[in-house]
């Protein structure tokens, strides 16, 4: 929960998984997902922007660890790394604009990201798009977002107490 209230992109994803994709969920899980607006705040934008900025700078500097030399050989850059960089920006902007993330990512971004992964966009295009998304995230964090500045920590604390109590009673 600490990671969720600070806006960790990976940790926030389960809050927005489509209902028909959930295999098992408890009553506490339903409650958590129904109250995502109490967890998500503009703080999340700081995390998304930070991850995006770091990835973009590493790509610009050529400082990424080469895990996929076959992509670099074929396209001149790690297209999967670049795709995840842009995806972070897309999801962060959507989250800060709407309070939600669409999973899977909606069109036209889904096709654009897949095309980037397949080398149909250049590294320069990916970097430019990432820079635009980073700028949008920065504006949203500074106040353009309808989200509150901070999560509802009182609600989060009460939910956590109930979750721990429920787990301890079941043990």
Q: Is residue 7 part of a domain?
A: no
Say what the pLDDT of residue 18 is.
97
Give the number of domains in the chain: 1
For residue 90, what pLDDT is reported? 98
Tens digit of each residue's pLDDT (9 = 90 or more) over 30-69? 999 999 999 999 999 999 999 999 999 998 888 877 788 8
Q: What are phi and psi of 137, to 5 degrees?
A: -60, -45
Sign of CA dihedral 161, 163, 166, 171: negative
How far is it, in rounded angstroms, from Cα 108 to Cα 122?
Answer: 18
64 in a structural domain = yes
Residues of the domain holding 48: 41-142
Within-domain flag for 100: yes
Inside any domain, residue 159: no
Q: Flag whether 101 is in a domain.
A: yes
Q: What is the pTM of this model?
A: 0.93
Write down the number of H helices and E strands in the chain.
Answer: 10, 0
- Identify whether 61 is part of a domain: yes
What confidence tens digit (pLDDT) does each residue in 87-145 have?
999 999 999 999 999 999 999 999 999 999 999 999 999 999 999 999 999 999 999 99
């Amino acid at each position: 929960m600490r990671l969720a209230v600070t806006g960790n992109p990976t940790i926030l994803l389960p809050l927005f998984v489509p209902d028909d994709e959930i295999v098992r969920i408890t009553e506490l899980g339903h409650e958590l997902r129904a109250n995502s607006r109490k967890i998500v705040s503009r703080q999340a934008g700081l995390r998304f922007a930070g991850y995006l900025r770091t990835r973009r700078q590493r790509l610009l500097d050529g400082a990424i660890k080469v895990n996929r030399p076959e992509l670099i050989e074929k396209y001149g850059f790690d297209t999967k790394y670049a795709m995840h960089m842009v995806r972070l920006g897309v999801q962060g902007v959507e989250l800060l604009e709407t309070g939600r993330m669409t999973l899977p990512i909606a069109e036209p971004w889904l096709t654009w990201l897949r095309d980037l992964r397949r080398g149909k966009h250049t590294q320069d295009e990916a970097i430019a798009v990432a820079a635009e998304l980073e700028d949008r995230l920065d504006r949203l964090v500074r106040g353009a977002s309808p989200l509150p500045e901070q999560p509802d920590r009182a609600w989060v604390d009460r939910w956590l107490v109930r979750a721990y109590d429920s787990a301890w009673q079941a043990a």
